[in-house]
Structure 1
Amino acid sequence: MALRNGPGEFGLVTRVIHWAMALLVIAMLALGTRIADLEPGLANLWLYGLHKTLGFLALSLILLRVGWHLYTPPPRPLGAPGPALWAARAAHAAFYLLLIAIPLTGWAGSSATGIDVMIADRWTLPPVAEPSVEGEAFWFGLHGVLTKLLLGLVVVHMLTAIKREMAGDGTLTRMLRGRA
């Protein structure tokens, strides 16, 4: 089992990062939805802290994935070139952009509250936005819109992977086992 990607297979590191991100994104979507329904207050402070910590972990993982992708490019895509390949590449680019932008907009929104952005109740991140009510509304509003886009993309990604696997091209198997 190779750590690096090969011409026709995903390496172990790529697969571990992919599935860790998948679980983290699902957890973050569930937690973020829960937080959005709550009234801000001290009783819920730990949920906000958990969300920020997981968001920082997600940002770290996607940056690791970008670095790993540059170090060991992904295998050749399955299937013939054409609109489906273009759509897959566009979807993956959108994933990367959203998975970087969503934590950054959350960080900016948290910074705009004027409250320290704490990670794991231990480390304070530097503010990336000036404290202001308008900035807080803007950044958290953008954070929410981008998150909804990500949710839609996740659903399409999952359905496409299942459809392609059922068609017998081995897409899902390749991400689970490394090769089709």
Structure 2
Amino acid sequence: MALRNSPDAFGLVTRVIHWTMMLLVIGQLALGLRISDLQPGLATLWLYGLHKTTGFAIFALIVLRIVWHITSPPPHPIGPRNAAFWAARAAHWAIYALLIAIPLTGWAGSSATGIDVMIADRWTVPPLVEPSVFGEAMWFRWHDTLTKVLMALVTIHMLAAFKREMEGDGTLTRMLKGKA
């Protein structure tokens, strides 16, 4: 079982990063939807801390994934280079960009509250922006909007992977097992 990608197969490192991110992102989306309906308070404060910690983990993983893809390029896509191919490429890059922008806007919004932003209730990270009521509202609005776009793209990505697998092209199998 190869760790690195090859021209026709995903290596173990890529697959582990992909599926770990999938679990974290879906869990984070569910948690974010839950806390968006809550009033912050002492009983719910730990959920906000969990959301921030998971957000930093996702941010670190997407940076790691990008660096990994530079050092171990992913295999060539299966199928012709048609409109669907280019739409999938654009969606992948949009998902990568959103997985960078969403944690950054959340970090900025949290920084704008003037309250320390912490990872795992242990490490304080430096604020990205100065405290500001306007900035807090703006950054969290961006965070919310970008998250909704990510939810739509992730849904489309998953449906497209299932569709391609049902058509027998092996794309999903390749992400699960390495080779189609």
TM-score bucket of the superposed structures, by smaller chain: over 0.9
1:58 and 1:81 mapped to 2: Cα distance? 30
Query: C-alpha distance in 2, partners of 1:61/1:115?
Result: 25
Q: CA deviation at 1:85?
A: 1.1
**2:40 paired with 1:36:** no
> Gaps (5+ residues) in structure 1?
none
> What is the rounded CA distance, in whole Å, between the counterparts of 1:79 and 1:38 in structure 2?
45
**Mean CA deviation greater in 40-49 or 142-151:** 40-49
Aligned-pair Cα RMSD in Å: 0.5
Q: CA deviation at 1:90?
A: 0.2
Q: Equivalent residues in 2 for 1:1-180 (5 A)? A: 1-180=1-180
Shift of residue 88, structure 1, vs aligned partner = 1.0
Q: How many residues align?
A: 180
Which residue identity does 2:174 align to in structure 1?
R
TM-score of the superposition, structure 1-length normalised?
0.99
Name the aligned partner's letter for residue 14 of structure 2: T
One-letter amino acid matched to 2:119: I
Deviation for aligned residue 1:40? 1.4
- Counterparts of 1:155 and 1:89 in 2: how far apart (Å)? 15
Spell out structure 1 runs of 4+ moving beyond 2 A: none
The SS at the match of 2:136 is: helix
Within 2, Cα distance between the matches of 1:43 and 1:106?
21
Matched position secondary structure for 1:115: coil
Percent same amino acid among aligned pairs? 72
Unpaired stretches in structure 2, ≥5 consecutive residues:
none
1:87-135: per-residue Cα shift (whole Å, max 9, x none)?
1110110011000000000000000000000100110000001100000
